[in-house]
């Protein structure tokens, strides 16, 4: 399987006035197509920071980052969106839905931005919202959806674009056990059937069995890696 994302000594130092916080320190890893990777670790260990760099949302302070063999650590605000659009989908820790748009319109918007025609976008949006169990609520505004339903809209939106890499920050954080598993099983299915590379930051130990590999973070570094025994 192809390597989707690779890093070498990836580091992020936040500076606030005279204070420096090393949020991620010297992380080297390779994520391949067709694998679902869990990123576990205590609050503040650097999961969101690492995921944001891998998702080309946050620029590293040092180290290298490649997305499908494109070196991206030096790219600026003009070029990064090109890489994001081509390869990456992000499911945020909050939902980041547009409040004035219905579930369906939120997914449609993401598809239009990716360049899908109106017809193709409509079919894809409807199929995905049905797949995450929202066929009945497609035309509701976010304020009329529960937390779990909003989260599933965010998942459908991320999947709609068809990106080969899905980065998810606590995608089951606001869901009960059953719906949380459903979301993870959907991500797993996409990885198995379409060789997507999926990386999930989570505190939810109940979904560990769905990961092919688990990376444990502490104080900005990966301290341990578990691979599922085949
Ligand atoms: N924008 C920022 N400016 C300064 N420090 C930050 C910023 N974002 C995060 N940090 C710090 O970097 C460290 C890592 O934070 P990060 O959000 O990556 O952790 P996390 O593992 O995702 O935590 P959680 O499980 O609570 O979501 C923390 O010490 C945090 O306070
Ligand atoms: Mg976080």
How much is the CA Rg of the chain, to the nearest whole Å?
17
Characterize the bridge pairing of strands 213-218 and 62-67.
unpaired
Can you give the pLDDT of all 230 residues of the chain as single tens digits? Answer: 899 999 999 999 999 889 999 999 999 999 999 999 999 999 999 999 999 999 998 999 999 999 999 999 998 888 888 898 899 998 887 778 999 999 999 999 988 887 889 999 999 999 999 988 899 999 999 999 988 889 889 989 988 878 999 999 998 887 888 888 888 888 899 899 999 999 999 988 888 999 999 999 999 999 999 998 66
Nearest-CA residue for ligand 1 atom 10 is: 23
C-alpha span between 192 and 123 (Å, rounded): 23
Predicted TM-score (pTM) of this structure: 0.91
Classify 222 as helix, strand or coil: strand
* Structural domains of the chain, ranges and CATH numbers in brackets: 3-227 (3.40.50.300)
Instruction: Give the Å distance between the CA of 201 and the centre of ligand 2.
Output: 7
pLDDT value at residue 120: 93
Instruction: Give the Å distance between the CA of 170 and the centre of ligand 2.
Output: 7
């Amino acid at each position: 399987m192809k390597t989707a994302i690779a890093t070498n000594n990836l580091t992020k130092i936040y500076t606030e006035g005279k204070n420096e916080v090393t949020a991620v320190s010297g992380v080297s890893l390779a994520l391949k197509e067709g694998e679902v990777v869990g990123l576990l670790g205590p609050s503040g260990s650097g999961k969101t920071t690492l995921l944001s760099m891998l998702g080309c949302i946050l620029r590293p302070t040092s180290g290298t980052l490649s997305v499908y063999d494109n070196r991206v650590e030096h790219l600026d605000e003009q070029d990064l969106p090109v890489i994001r659009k081509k390869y990456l989908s992000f499911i945020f820790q909050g939902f980041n839905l547009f409040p004035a748009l219905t579930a369906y319109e939120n997914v449609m918007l993401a598809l239009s931005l990716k360049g899908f025609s109106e017809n193709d976008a409509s079919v894809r949006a409807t199929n995905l919202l049905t797949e995450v169990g929202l066929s009945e609520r497609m035309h509701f505004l976010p304020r009329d959806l529960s937390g779990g339903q909003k989260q599933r809209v965010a998942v459908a939106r991320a999947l709609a674009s068809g990106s080969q890499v899905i980065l998810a920050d606590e995608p089951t954080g606001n869901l009960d056990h059953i719906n949380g598993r459903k979301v993870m099983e959907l991500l797993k299915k996409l990885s198995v059937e379409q060789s997507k590379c999926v990386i999930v930051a989570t505190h939810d130990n109940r979904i560990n069995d769905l990961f092919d590999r688990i990376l444990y973070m502490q104080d900005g570094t990966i301290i341990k890696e578990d691979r599922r025994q085949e």
